[in-house]
Amino acid sequence: MQKFDPLPDFAEITPSAAIAAQTHGWRAKCLQRLIRLDMPVPRSVSLPASLVRCIAAGQAMDYASVLHLFGERPLISVRPSPANPDWGGPSTVLNIGMNGARHAELVERHGQAAADALYLRFVQGYAVHVARLDPDMFEGREPSGEALRAALRAYADEMEEPFPEDPARQLSEVLRSMARAWEGTSARLLRQAKGAPEDAALGLVVQAMAQGIGQGISGSGVIQFVDPVTGEPQITGRWLRQAQDRAALRDTDEALYLTRDARGPSLQDIAPGIFETLSRQGTACRAKLREEMQIEFTIEDGRLAVIDAVRVQRSSRAGLRIAVDLADAGIITRNEALLRVEPRALSELLHPQVDPRGPRDVFARGIAASPGGATGRIVFSSAGAQASAARGEPCILVKRETAPEDIRGMHSAAGVLTERGGITSHAAVIGRGLGLPCIVGASDLRIDPRERRITGADGRVFREGDIVTVDGTTGEVLAGAADMLPPALDGHFRKLLSWADAVRDIGIRANADTPADAQTARDFEAQGIGLCRTEHMFFEDARLVAMREMIFADSPKDRAAALARILPMQRNDFVQLFEIMEGLPVCIRLFDPPLHEFLPHSRDGMRELAEALDRPLSEVTRRAEALTEFNPMLGMRGVRLGIVLPEIYDMQAQAIFEATIEIAARGGSVVPEIMIPLVSAKREVELVKTRVDAVAAKVRTAKSRDFDYKLGVMVETPRAALRAGDIAQHAAFLSFGTNDLTQMTYGLSRDDAGRFMNTYVQQGVFPEDPFHILDVDGVGELLLIGAERGRRTREKLVLSICGEHGGNPESISFCRKAGFDYVSCSPYRVPLARLAAAHLALLEPLIEDVEIQ
Ligand code: PEP
Ligand code: MG
295-344: per-residue pLDDT in tens? Answer: 999 998 899 999 999 999 887 888 999 999 999 999 999 999 999 999 98
Ligand 1 atom nearest the C-alpha of 739 is 3
Ligand 1 proximity of 716 Cβ (cutoff 6 Å): yes
Alpha carbon of 681 to ligand 2 centroid (Å): 16
Ligand 1 atom with the smallest distance to the CA of 533 is 9
Question: Does ligand 1 come within 6 angstroms of the Cβ of 803?
Answer: yes
Please tell me the number of the ligand nearest to residue 593's CA: 1
Residue 720 CA, ligand 2 centroid: distance in Å? 13
Q: Is 406 in the pocket of ligand 1 (CB under 6 A)?
A: no
Cα–Cα dist 828/820, whole Å: 21
Q: Is the dihedral of CA 554, 555, 558, 561 positive or negative?
A: positive
Task: Give the gyration radius of the chain's Cα atoms.
Answer: 33
Strand partners, 710: 673
* Crossing angle for the helix pair 779-793 and 809-817, to the nearest 10 degrees: 30
| φ, ψ for residue 167, nearest 5 deg | -55, -35
In one-letter notation, the amino acid at residue 514 is: T
Q: Is 684 in the pocket of ligand 1 (CB under 6 A)?
A: no
Q: What is the model's pLDDT at position 652?
A: 97
Architecture of domain 11-208: 2-Layer Sandwich (3.30)
Q: With both helix axes pointing from N to C terminus, report the angle between 646-665 and 682-703 in degrees, rounded to the nearest 10.
A: 40
| Cβ 805 under 6 angstroms from ligand 1 | no
Give how far Cα 116 sits from Cα of 92, 164, 250, Å: 20, 17, 19
- Say how far residue 689 (Cα) sits from the centre of its chain: 44
**816 Cβ closer than 6 Å to some ligand 1 atom:** no
d(CA 731, CA 789): 13
Are residues 522 and 576 in contact, defined by beta-carbon separation less than 8 angstroms? no
Q: Check residue 486 and report its DSSP letter.
A: P
Q: How far apart are CA 205 and CA 89, in angstroms?
A: 12
Considering every ligand atom shown, identify the ligand nearest to the alpha carbon of residue 591 and give its number: 1
Report how far ligand 2's centroid is from the alpha carbon of 610 (Å).
30
Q: 544: Cβ–Cβ under 8 A, 6 or more apart, which residues? A: 538, 598
**Which amino acid, one-letter code, is at 519?**
Q
Written as one letter, the residue type at 738 is: T
CATH fold of 360-485 reads: Glucose Oxidase; domain 1 (3.50.30)
Supply angle C-alpha 398, 400, 403, rounded to 5.
90
Residue of minimum CA distance from atom 10 in ligand 1 = 740
- Out of 411, 426, 536, 596, the active site residue is 426
- Does 739 belong to an annotated binding site? yes
**pLDDT tens digits, one per residue of 488-511:** 578 999 999 999 999 999 999 999
Q: Any idea what DSSP says for residue 414?
A: S
Tell me whether residue 229 is exposed, middle or buried, using C-beta atoms within 10 angstroms of its C-beta: 0 to 12, 13 to 18, 19 or more.
buried
User: Can you list the residues of the chain whose pLDDT is less than 50?
Assistant: 1-2, 849-853
Kindly give the distance from the C-alpha atom of residue 803 to the centroid of ligand 2, in angstroms, as a whole number: 7
Sign of the CA dihedral 217, 223, 229, 233? positive
- Whole-Å CA distances, 2 to 19, 50, 51, 60: 21, 9, 11, 15
Distance from the alpha carbon of residue 803 to the mean position of ligand 1, in angstroms: 5
Tell me if 308 sits within 8 A of 28, measured CB to CB: no
The dihedral through the CA atoms of 375, 378, 379, 382 has a sign that is positive
- In order of 571, 647, 652, the CA distances from 658 in angstroms are 7, 16, 10
Residues 286 and 291: their CA atoms lie apart, in Å, by 5
CATH code of the domain occupying 504-537+554-594+639-843: 3.20.20.60
Q: How far is the centre of ligand 1, averaged over its atoms, from the C-alpha of 739 (Å)?
A: 5
Residue 716 assigned as binding residue: yes
Name the DSSP letter for residue 847.
P
Q: Is the dihedral of CA 429, 432, 436, 437 positive or negative?
A: positive
The reply to whether ligand 1 has any atom less than 6 angstroms from the CB of 513 is no
Q: What is the spatial distance between Cα 246 and Cα 317, in angstroms, rounded to a whole number?
A: 25
510 vs 826: CA distance, rounded Å: 5
- CATH 3.20.20.60 residue ranges for the chain: 504-537+554-594+639-843
Distance CA 173, CA 125 (A): 12
* Percent of the chain surpassing pLDDT 90: 62
- Its CATH class, for the domain covering 219-314, is alpha beta
Describe the chain by its helix, strand, coil percentages, rounded to 5.
Answer: 45, 15, 35
* Nearest atom within ligand 1 for CA of residue 677: 6
> Does residue 802 have its Cβ closer than 6 Å to ligand 1?
yes
Which residue has the CA at smallest separation from atom 4 of ligand 1?
Answer: 737
DSSP bridge partners of 824: 509
Within its chain, how far is the Cα of 638 from the centroid? Answer: 36
Per-residue DSSP letters for 701-768? HHHT-----EEEEEE-SHHHHHTHHHHTTS-SEEEE-HHHHHHHHHT--TTTTHHHHHHHHHTTSSSS
The terminus-to-terminus CA distance of the chain in angstroms comes to 42
Q: How far is CA 136 from CA 130, 149, 178, in A?
A: 15, 16, 21
Which ligand 1 atom is at minimum distance from the Cα of 736? 3
Q: Cβ neighbours of residue 716 under 8 Å, at least 6 residues apart? A: 638, 677, 678, 679, 736, 737, 739, 740, 741, 744
Q: Where are the alpha helices (DSSP H) in 361-406?
A: 382-390
Pinpoint the residues of the chain covered by CATH 3.30.470.20. 219-314
Q: How many CA atoms lie within 13 A of 234 on its CB side?
A: 11
Residue nearest to atom 3 of ligand 1 (CA): 737
Ligand 1: nearest atom to the Cα of 716: 2
Strand partners, 612: none
Residues with CB under 5 A from ligand 2 (ion): 716, 737, 740
* Distances, alpha carbon 447 to alpha carbons 239, 279, 451, 455, 498, in Å: 31, 41, 9, 7, 46
Which residue type sits at 352?
A: P
54 a catalytic residue: no
Burial 319-350 (b: 16+ CB within 10 A, else e): bbbbbbbbbeeebbebbebbbbbebebbebbb
Selecting among 30, 285, 438, 802, the annotated active-site residue is 802
pTM of the model: 0.79
Per-residue pLDDT at 503: 97
Q: Which of 513, 533, 598 to mutate to test the pocket of ligand 1 (most atoms within 8 A of CB)?
A: 533
- 3-state secondary structure at position 635: coil
Instruction: Read off φ and ψ for residue 317, nearest 5 degrees.
Output: -60, -45
373 ligand 1 Cβ < 6 A: no
Clarify whether 802 is annotated catalytic: yes
Amino acid 846 reads L
pLDDT value, residue 247: 67
What secondary structure letter does DSSP report for 129?
A: I
277 contact partners, CB below 8 Å, separation of at least 6: 304
Is 499 in contact with 525 (CB distance < 8 Å)?
no
Tell me, using a 6 A CB cutoff, whether residue 637 lines ligand 1. Answer: no
Q: Which is it for strands 373-379 and 467-471: parallel, antiparallel or unpaired?
A: antiparallel
Question: How many angstroms is it from 71 CA to the middle of ligand 1?
Answer: 72
> What's the confidence (pLDDT) of residue 848?
55
How high is the pLDDT of residue 350? 79
Q: Which residues are CB-neighbours of 260 under 8 A, at least 6 positions away?
A: 266, 268, 269
For 228-297, give the DSSP string.
TTT--EEEEEEEEET--TTGGGSS-TT-BBSS-BTTB-BHHHH-HHHHHHHHHHHHHHHHHHTS-EEEEE
Alpha carbon 410 to chain centroid, angstroms: 13
Q: Are strands 467-471 and 461-463 parallel, antiparallel or unpaired?
A: unpaired
Among protein residues, the one whose CA lies closest to atom 1 of ligand 1: 737
Structure confidence at residue 514 (pLDDT):
86
Of 779, 819, 781, give the one whose Cα is nearest residue 797. Answer: 819
**Max Cα distance, the chain (Å):** 106
Q: Is the CB of 738 under 6 A from ligand 1?
A: yes
Q: What does the pLDDT look like over 807-850, one tens digit per residue?
A: 889 999 999 999 999 999 988 889 999 999 999 999 998 755 44
User: Which strands make up the sheet holding 453-455, listed edge to edge?
Assistant: 446-448, 453-455, 461-463
Cα 675 to ligand 2 centre (Å): 12
Distance between CA 154 and CA 58 in Å, rounded?
27
